[in-house]
Amino acid sequence: MSLNKDSKLNKKMFVRGVEQIATRDGFGNGLVKAGELSEKVVALCADLADSTRVNWFRDKFPDRYVEIGVAEQLLATVAAGMANYGKVPFIASYAAFSPGRNWEQIRTTACLNDVPVKIAGCHAGISVGPDGATHQPLEDIATMRAMPNMVVVYPCDSVEAEKATVAISDNGSPSYIRLAREKTPVMTTQETPFEIGKAEVFWEQKDPQVAIIGAGPLLHEAMKAAYRLSKKSNIPSIVINNHTIKPIDEQAIVKAAKLAGCVVTVEEHQVNGGLGGAVSEVLAKNFPVPIEFIGVQDRFGQSGKPKELYTEYGLTAADIISAVKRVIKRKTS
């Protein structure tokens, strides 16, 4: 196995019975931790306290919890006022509604106003499943990363989500953390390094023919793809966990592109404007190489089981392997 030793990853990540925990759970734990670390941390929720796991914070710090009701514009603007005062407000809802419905409020009252509102977008991506397209936000990375002052983090598992939540509670900036509903494999450990803005190499082989750059729980598919490429096709690769989409780790991305000569990006988001877009911007500017994009190809989601949807939308390890083979061909032709 070619797991990067320095990343201290979960060695059982490829085992069938790998532990699975939702990133929203990691957020819930991280928020409690952040609350213990600083009395300034408060939480606001738009009528979804249980499913966003903000109830864990509410039960521990009832005096620092603010119930907003089904009003995401209010959620953002009340939080902006509290952040302006000196609190560190986390606002929690489904990403389809926050930052889906309150984009302008976030832009004006958090980003332009430059106050540290922390937006937790839960139930992001198509893996929300049966609820269907209305509840499957696939554009939130694009809309959040376009804004000056905003930090955008997309943790790959629950352990990283917990660390990311604590990290953004203390970074002084408006920040967006993208979270998923479904239980997903735990890839990292408490010892895995995490620093906002610093991408981590998770899979590392000599003379890689491709660099796979991913973020979020779908990174597990990327790791499976790298494993199979190595075993079955004799294609060495590197896999990068690009958990911070803004500010993006330009150095790590350029280094990977130089090393491998081509890139596949992997995300549960529209290919327009998401992680793939961000990586392309870096490489077009610094070191252009062929890129293939795994993600939702300008379509809306639909009801179904997460697995069915991953297959329908081309987000599986098999799809990543096909993309790797395509991009390597483009490199040599």
Active-site residue numbers? 72
Four-point Cα dihedral 22, 24, 27, 29, nearest 10: -70
Tell me which stretch binds another protein (CB under 8 A): 92-100, 102-110, 187-195, 245-253. Answer: 102-110
Taking CB under 8 A as the criterion, the residue among 15, 37, 112, 284 binding another protein is 112
Q: Does 172 bind another protein (CB under 8 A)?
A: no
Alpha helix (H) ranges present in the chain? 23-37, 54-60, 72-85, 103-105, 140-145, 158-168, 219-232, 250-260, 275-286, 306-312, 317-332
Q: Does 108 bind another protein (CB under 8 A)?
A: yes
Q: Does 113 bind another protein (CB under 8 A)?
A: yes
CA separation for the pair 141, 209 (Å, rounded): 28
Q: Does 66 bind another protein (CB under 8 A)?
A: yes
Residue 198, strand partner residues = 195
CB closer to another protein, 93 vs 105:
105
CB closer to another protein, 17 vs 86:
86
CB 161 to another protein: min, Å: 26
Say if residue 208 is exposed, middle or buried (CB neighbours under 10 Å; 0-12, 13-18, 19+).
Answer: buried
Tell me which stretch binds another protein (CB under 8 A): 75-83, 166-174, 180-188, 191-199. Answer: 75-83
Tell me the residue type at 64: R
CB 130 to another protein: min, Å: 29
| 116, two tokens | 């540290």
The binding site for another protein (CB under 8 A) comprises: 42, 63-64, 66, 68-69, 71, 73-74, 77-82, 84-87, 89, 104-105, 108-109, 112-114
